[in-house]
Chain A
Amino acid sequence: MALAFRLQKSPMPGFGLGMGITLAMLSLIVILPVGALLARGISYGPEAVWATINTPRVWAALYLSFRLAFLAALFNLVFGTLLAWVLARYDFPGRRLVDALVDLPFALPTAVAGIALTALYAPNGIFGGIARDLGGKIAYTQWGILIALIFVGLPFVTRTVQPVIAEIEQEVEEASATLGAGRFHTLRRVILPMLLPAALTGFALSLARAVGEYGSVIFIAGNLPMKTEIAPLLIVIKLEEFDYDGAAAIGIAMLLISFSMLLAINLIQIWSRRRIGHV
């Protein structure tokens, strides 16, 4: 690795120290632990890892985690873009306060969000009560998990899209209008394509966050095997049973799936930037 990071000539001092601290920390915090996880999987054996993953309960949990994370990120893509547009373009009383509030899900610890959402959406809570009167149930179902995942990923799309909207030149919209496009047409054919790469970045961040989310979900999920049991919870359960091999197998599966998803989204992003051009 030292060879890979070989320095080109520079008059600036501190390369050795800076690179030393960076690599030492990176190794201790990230590379060695992740390496230990992969090594555990290798020593457990690929067949055994596959046998652990290939059970109905693990498949159900993985499918649930990724499906709901995708739906939550999709919701955040639409609502986050709307929010970014409103905050960047319109003026209304309290706009700066609302702008600051968007980041609240980043500042509120997940366990706090978890019990707060449960209190709201449980049958005796405010929103849960409304749902109960209508004959539905939110907390302790997949809807509850979805709401928690929407909460934790909410700011990502808004924060990536908002600066791009602020940078759009008014002339582009004027040109479109001059050429006879209606406002909706301009938004759909001119503005939205410009926002797409940034929105996809936000979508990817929101998705990555939601897939691995644990703290805000376990309180509201009800945690029924096969129904509302998320993949990270399954790892915790395996660990509590001292089944380190099983936990490592599920952990590796989650790592691989989220990396391949991020890779796919990065490729889509490169494609969309190339097609539309960088703003």
Chain B
Amino acid sequence: MFDDALHPTPATAGRPAKWRPATEESRLTRILLIAAALGGLAILVVAPLAVVFAEALARGAAQAVTSLTRPEATSAIRLTLIVAAISVPVNAVFGIAAAWTITKFDFRGKAFLITLIDLPFSISPVVAGLALVLLFGTNSLIGGWLVASGFPIIFALPGIVLASIFVTFPFVARELIPVMIEQGRAEEEAALTLGASGWRAFLTVTLPNIKWALLYGVLLCNARAMGEFGAVAVVSGKIRGQTATMPITIEMLYNEYLSVAAFSLAAVLAALGLLTLALKTLLEWRHADQLAAGRRH
């Protein structure tokens, strides 16, 4: 590997005027790289964020606030909160169950199981929505029966919840699995040997060990569940005031050229996103040793 590095450069030729360690880039290179990174980030990430708030406040704060009290905005906010309130806990329970099963036991097919859990990451949200429509839509076997018995899934709340769970499916499990692998099984085994029940071992030994990683996964899951657009657009039917979540309502308002209303609602979601980011960063600073973020590669 080092063969090519063996061509010695003359030590005297081109010696820098100021000494610097051989494992650092020159000052100029460093400044240029930092400038490129910061400039790129400002254009690609900061500018879009700033423009959301600028457009929302384009005709004054009063109008932005008023637009958020429109009935379609309030019903969208309520629906999005309901969807997150159902799909995030469901995902947390699934994530804990999957991580417990995968990390505390040895069984054949484990790698395959992990691949299946990761699958939603490589499926387009629109394809996910389509798959749900084909399974539960009115002209499918299950869907027809469900609609006949008064429990429609597609173009109704259950469909939106299922779509949100689909796109956030791996978040909690992926966060917990590396952390629980690292912690091993010894502590739980000790608790069981000392006579604790399985539940007690889980609640008093496992859960305190994974609480920060769990919170981290739940945060990411919640941000995605509240903001999901593609999958929800397909299954919701976009019925105004009934199945239009916040992102769907943003699209409707935007297409009707109600720019301030669309960007005001977008600003609320962006603020939620910033809050998520702040909490996530705080967790990374305070509890880095108990998170998977630094180990995943």
Contact = CB atoms under 8 A, between A and B. Distances in A.
A67 interface: no
A109 B126 contact: no
Contact of A181 (B5, B36, B45, B246): B5
A111 B250 contact: yes
Given A116-B266, A180-B9, A183-B25, A30 B166 contact: yes
A83 interface: yes
Interface string B241-285: 000001110110010000000110010011001101110110001
A44 to B, nearest CB: 11
A110 B192 contact: no
B229 A170 contact: no
Interface stretch (B66-74, B100-108, B144-152): B100-108
A51 interface: no
Interface string A1-45: 100111110111111011101100110111111111101100000
B78 interface: no
A143 interface: no
B107 to A, nearest CB: 5
Nearest to B247: A111
Interface string A177-209: 111111101100110010001100100010011
A176 interface: yes
Interface in B17-74: 22-26, 30, 33-34, 36-38, 40-41, 43-49, 51-52, 55
Given A214-B126, A236-B126, A244 B33 contact: no
A108 interface: yes
Contacts of A236: 126, 233-234
A160 B296 contact: yes
B9 to A, nearest CB: 6
Contact of A115 (B37, B131, B254): B254
Given A106-B223, A113-B48, A116-B52, A251 B2 contact: no
Nearest to B36: A82
B159 to A, nearest CB: 11
B274 A107 contact: yes
B49 A14 contact: no
B133 interface: yes
A214 to B, nearest CB: 4
A63 to B, nearest CB: 16
A159 B174 CA distance: 15
A239 B4 contact: no
B128 interface: yes
A267 interface: no
12 contacts: A10-B104, A13-B197, A18-B105, A39-B134, A90-B34, A98-B38, A111-B251, A147-B44, A160-B297, A163-B293, A189-B4, A232-B124
